[in-house]
Structure 1
Amino acid sequence: MSVDHAAEATFDGDGRPVPRVLLRENDDHRNAVDRDAAATGPSFEYERLRMFAANELSAWPAMPLLALVVCLALVNWAPIEQLGLWLAAVLMAKGIVLALCRQLENGPADADAWRGKLWAAEFLYGMTWAGLAFVDITSHHQAAYFLIFAAFVIVVASRMIFASTVMPLLYPGTIPLTAALVLRSALMGEMFYFSLAIVATAIHVYFILLARGLNATLLDMLSYRAQKDALIAELEQSRAVSEEARRRAENASMAKSRFLATMSHELRTPLNAILGFSEVMKDEVLGPHTTPTYRNYAADIYDSGQHLLHLINEILDLSRIEAGRYELNESRVPLAEVMEDCRRLMIMRAEEKGIDFVEDYDGMPEAIWADERAVRQICLNLLSNAIKFTPRGGTVTLRCSVNEGGEPFLSVSDDGPGIPEHEVPLVLRSFGQGAFARENAEGGSGLGLPIVKGLAELHDGRLELETREGQGTTAIVIFSWKRLIGRSNSEALESGEDSRLSKENAA
């Protein structure tokens, strides 16, 4: 075992073993870094370019309209020919940007190529707007320059909003405007224009910092979305694996049940011949044996064959129940009479251990609608278990009645060793046996209770075990109230309530 742990251990640079908790934390950190890197990878770069294009296309009339308003506002202070030429250049550059954005939505996902094209288009667009700063203004009217300053601030702000998804596209579209405004202000040589240049530069820096914050938020959003998509993909994959595992398990269970049903049927044919011939030899039908030991051998063969036949029948019944091939032949079944018949069949086995029967059939309705053979098998299996685990001189209690919910039920109680709580799920599984049965070699196949449970569920009922270690066990099979015959559900409810009240009074 030490070799296995050494093989699985991980060591640091100093040769010390690294705890597995730290290894898991490192793996989680690496996965987080990988997801964050994915948000800035090539596929997300292209997606951010598409977001930029979508922003441009969604608000395309705003900038041309602004250029037209500025042109009309400056018509009294600047030559109309220069303004017209400038407006045409701005509209042409904007048209190039919009055309590239439309192509980007349906074009190939080549982020580097599109980024280069859009960078050039943005630079051209910024240069055309920058040309407004060099239009001749008559009498150097300050109002005209302030209007140009305001227009430039609006354009820079809009570019900041649209290009914050891809920061490299922010600079070519905005730096030319601020640079042109600063240069023109310097050429004017007056304090007013120097002030405009300083304010324009400060606003530009502020907008860049704000755009960086928006870009960081966008990257976080894309990173979280990548994580969400990865988790959804993992969940879908896990669900597909789970569905496949469930399908295979169901197919395996069906195949097992069909195999058991087929093999059990095939085994019974030769076994009947073994039982028949061994019974003939045991009873010396064809004459006495010359050696008495042979008669004992034949009796052992017959008893073993009977045990094997009983086991095969149980396997066959359980496999039919699990495979959904157990067909109920339902009719009117007097539950109390069936329990009494089963008690008479088991009375000889009980007398061998000095076990007494106590019967309580008060409050039981006339009959229930069920498969009589299945009900008999339920009773016999429960009685067999109770007799098996009841000590010599003990008591087995049989009861039929209606519970508080108006449901008919039968129960078999013993005063044996009981079942530990953690073993209850085990004994309800096929071939499951508790520790007491294994340690004391009580025999049995571990199929009795699973068969009872399956037959009860076929009748829309259930099996309940009330047990405490060292204080005995009560097995209760409860049928649906819809299977009552002879009384209405309201009468059954009243009977169940009366029974409960009488017990409380007796207590």
Structure 2
Amino acid sequence: MALLRSDIADKNIVDRTKRRRNSDVARAVRRTRDRLAQRPGALAFDRELLRLHAHAMTGSATAIPLLVLVITVAGLIAGMRGEILIWAMLTTTCYAGLALVAHRVSKMDLAKLDTQGIKRNFLIGHFLSGLGWAYFAGIGCDECQLQQFPIVKAVILLLAMAATALIASSLRGALMVTFALPVVIYGVSVSHSPEAVDLLMTALLALSLPFFAYVASRLNRSSVMLLSFRSEKDGLIAELETAKSMSDEARRRAEEANLAKSRFLASMSHELRTPLNAILGFSEVMSNEVLGPMQNATYRDYARDVHDSGQHLLNLINEILDLSRIEAGRYQLNEEPVHLLHIAEECCHLMELKAHNRDLRIVQQFEPELPRLYADERAVRQIALNLLSNAVKFTPPGGEILVRVGWTAGGGQYISVKDNGPGIPPEEIPVVLSAFGQGSIAIKSAEQGTGLGLPIVQGLIAMHGGEFQLHSKLREGTEAIAIFPLSRVMEVLPALPTKAVAAAGRRRQSA
């Protein structure tokens, strides 16, 4: 038989069709889901890539101008004058314009980016910066002291292509637009050279351009994957945010519903108890014929039925109030030293008459000399009575109820009530442990009940820090065990010797 436990669940239902209070969260979730639904090549990803390219260009705005400055200083040292200075100013101006466009794009709202227009502006800026490198590819140096100046130009162009491939990888075609013309002009400028190495450098540049374009495309693919991962991360964060928002709203509504329920029960308890007291009192007077005999026996039976029904309704109200206080955490324990054995014996004695009327036998198996528990006597008594009442209701005539009280393996104390009734199907045990829950067999064969006994026992045991166990096997019976933890068991104080007690008394008298 498996051990099954059920926590008292909140029965408040949250209406998710209502608008959430946090509209910013709702808008963020919608935007993120739209972005997550996009794929590479769609509008959202194009905007993200353009934003990444703009950040890369602004972040490396000083890299290319610094390279231009180094080349210019080296050219001046080598003997170049006017052409190198013109190239430096032209190239720096073009890159400054490209950095300005990138700065403007990085400051724009992502949703307002015109992808086609901005991409066109970026490509135009890269083409203009390529004009500077084209001018550099066509520069000659007859007066400088460098014998292999075409090779130096080729190396510088290779460095510039590599740097541009890394910086502008987020924008497809930027590398080709920038360096296609410089490579062609370099090839034209060295085409009449008799040196084979110049032709070799031309071929190297021509092959390096598609190679660096391939590297840039791989980097572009990595950027797209980065955006995809970031979108998924944003989606998860947004889902967590909306779940938190819905949870907060559900908790708020649950607290409001619980408060309304508590107020309703408090009000209805007073309103119902007042007429019930009158009904119970007058029906008891009539059924007992206190004011004189009733001539009609049927009326006397009706009065007893009215009294029994009123008593059942009063018990139901009391149980609902107890369960509501337990669920709301407002059930106050009046803790004091109690004897679990004595309480179990008294409860068995109270149920003897009812068990006898149903031809049932209550068997007691109590371990002797159990120490006291630090617990609420009323709650412990209610636990025992509820378990015994269930056993009496569900045990068929001629059956037996076994009540045991003793030690647990962990040093605590327990009270167990076992019957040989019809049992509970395993799938219905969570039902009987919930408020107002009753199993199918119990509904067919047992007396009328409220379905609150076991939830109340479970709540009271939990308030004592204990554990409630329910073992059941179909057509064999059910055993309910209420366990009080070791921390509730009070230590037994050793008895003082008689001489020591007498000596202490004489000391107090002399003092």
Q: Of 314, 319, 322, which residue of structure 2 is paired with 1:309?
A: 314
Q: 1:131 aligns with which of 126, 129, 135?
A: 135
Is the 8 Å Cα contact of residues 185 and 196 (structure 1) preserved in structure 2? no
Distance 1:350 1:32, change over 3 A: closer
Matched ranges for 1:338-357 at <5 A: 338-357=343-362
Q: 1:405 aligns with which of 393, 406, 410?
A: 410
Mapped to 2, the partners of 1:223 and 1:465 lie a distance apart of 51
TM-score, structure 1 normalization? 0.82
Partner of 1:85: 86
- Aligned 8 A contact 1:39 1:226 in 2: no
Once the 2 structures are TM-superposed, how far is the Cα of residue 148 of structure 1 from its aligned partner?
0.5
Instruction: Report if the CA contact (8 A) 1:354-1:394 is conserved.
Output: yes
Gap change, CA 1:35 and 1:444, over 3 Å in 2: closer
Residue 405 of structure 1 deviates from its aligned partner by: 0.9
Letter in 2 for 1:134: G
Q: CA 1:409–1:180 in 2, change beyond 3 Å: closer, same or farther? A: same
1:45–1:111 CA contact under 8 A, matched in 2: no
Extract unaligned runs of 5+ from structure 1.
1-30, 489-507
Structure 1 pair 76–240 and aligned structure 2 pair: CA distance change class (3 A):
closer
Q: Which amino acid aligns with 1:290?
A: Q
Provide, for residues 213-270 of structure 1, a one-character-per-residue CA deviation record: whole Å limited to 9, x for no partner: 2212222221232233223323322332244234434433443344234323321210
**Aligned position for 1:463:** 468
Residue 154 of structure 1: SS of its match in structure 2?
helix
2:56 corresponds to = 55
1:260 is aligned to 265
Per-residue deviation at 1:145? Answer: 0.6
Tell me what 2:430 maps to.
425
2-structure distance, mates of 1:479, 1:305: 35
- In structure 2, give the amino acid aligned to 1:123: F
State the one-letter code of the partner of 1:97: L
Question: In 2, Cα distance between the equivalents of 1:290 and 1:159?
Answer: 114
- 1:269 matched residue in structure 2: 274
Q: Tell me the matched-pair count.
A: 458
Contact conserved, 1:258 with 1:319, CA < 8 A, in 2?
A: no
Contact 1:127 1:177 in 2 (8 A): yes
Shift of 1:408: 1.7
Moved more, 79-88 or 429-438: 79-88
Alpha-carbon distance change, 135 to 440 in structure 1, aligned in 2, over 3 angstroms: same
- After superposition, residues 33-432 of structure 1 pair within 5 angstroms as 35=36, 37=38, 39-42=40-43, 44-75=45-76, 79-107=80-108, 109=110, 110-112=113-115, 114-138=118-142, 143-188=148-193, 191-362=196-367, 365-432=370-437
Distance 1:467 1:484 in 2: 28
Cα distance in 2 for residues equivalent to 1:215 and 1:302: 85
| Cα distance change of structure 1 residues 398 and 33 upon mapping to structure 2, 3 Å threshold | closer
User: What one-letter code is carried by the residue in structure 1 that aligns with 2:243?
Assistant: S
Any conservation in 2 of the 1:78–1:138 contact (CA below 8 Å)?
A: no
Q: Which amino acid aligns with 1:54?
A: H
Residues 68, 290 of structure 1: CA spacing in aligned structure 2 closer, same or farther, 3 A cutoff?
Answer: closer
* Distance in 2 (alpha carbons) for counterparts of 1:33 and 1:380: 60
CA distance in 2, matches of 1:412, 1:269: 36
Amino acid at match of 1:85: I
Q: CA deviation at 1:33?
A: 11
Moved more, 231-240 or 66-75: 66-75
Partners of 2:194 and 2:148 lie apart in 1 by 17
Q: Distance in 1 between matches of 2:294 and 2:103?
A: 106
Q: Label 1:98 to 1:303 Cα distance change in 2 as closer, same or farther (>3 A).
A: closer
Task: Give % identity.
Answer: 40
Structure 1 distance, partners of 2:166, 2:232, is: 26
Normalized against structure 2, the TM-score is what?
A: 0.81
* Runs of 4+, deviation exceeding 6 Å: 31-34
User: 1:486, CA displacement in angstroms?
Assistant: 3.5
Residues 122-164 of structure 1: per-residue CA shift (max 9 Å, x gap): 2222211221222232289761110011111111111111111
SS at match of 2:320: helix
Classify 1:177/1:410 alpha carbon distance in 2 versus 1 (closer, same or farther; 3 Å).
same
Give the whole-Å Cα distance in 1 for the aligned partners of 2:224 and 2:376: 68
Alpha-carbon contact 1:264-1:315 (below 8 Å) kept: no
1:451 corresponds to which residue?
456
> In structure 1, what is the Cα distance between the partners aligned to 2:344 and 2:446?
28
Counterpart CA distance in 2 for 1:298 and 1:151 is 113
> Once structures 1 and 2 are overlaid, which stretch shifts more, 267-276 or 354-363?
354-363
Q: Give me the whole-angstrom Cα distance separating, in 2, the residues matched to 1:437 and 1:59.
A: 79
User: 1:97-142 CA distances to partner (integer Å, 9 max, x unpaired)?
Assistant: 3444444443555354544444333222221122122223228976
Shift in CA distance, 260/297, structure 1 to aligned 2, threshold 3 Å: same
Measured after TM superposition, the shift of residue 85 of structure 1 is 2.5
Matched position secondary structure for 2:191? helix
Aligned in 2, Cα 1:371/1:137: closer, same or farther, shift over 3 Å?
same
**Are the equivalent residues in 1 in contact too, given 2:420–2:477 (CA < 8 A)?**
yes
Per the TM alignment, residue 35 of structure 1 is displaced from its structure 2 partner at its CA by 4.0
**Which shifted more, 285-294 or 45-54?**
45-54
Q: How large is the RMSD of aligned CA atoms in angstroms?
A: 2.8
Q: Which amino acid aligns with 1:487?
A: V
Q: Structure 1 CA distance, aligned partners of 2:37 and 2:436?
A: 53
| Higher relative contact order, structure no. (Cα contacts within 8 Å, ≥ 6 residues apart) | 2
Cα distance change, pair 432–107 in 1 and its aligned pair in 2 (3 A): closer
Aligned equivalents of 1:405, 1:463: Cα separation in 2: 15
Contact preservation (8 Å) 2:402, 2:417: yes
Distance 2:76 2:491 in 1: 104
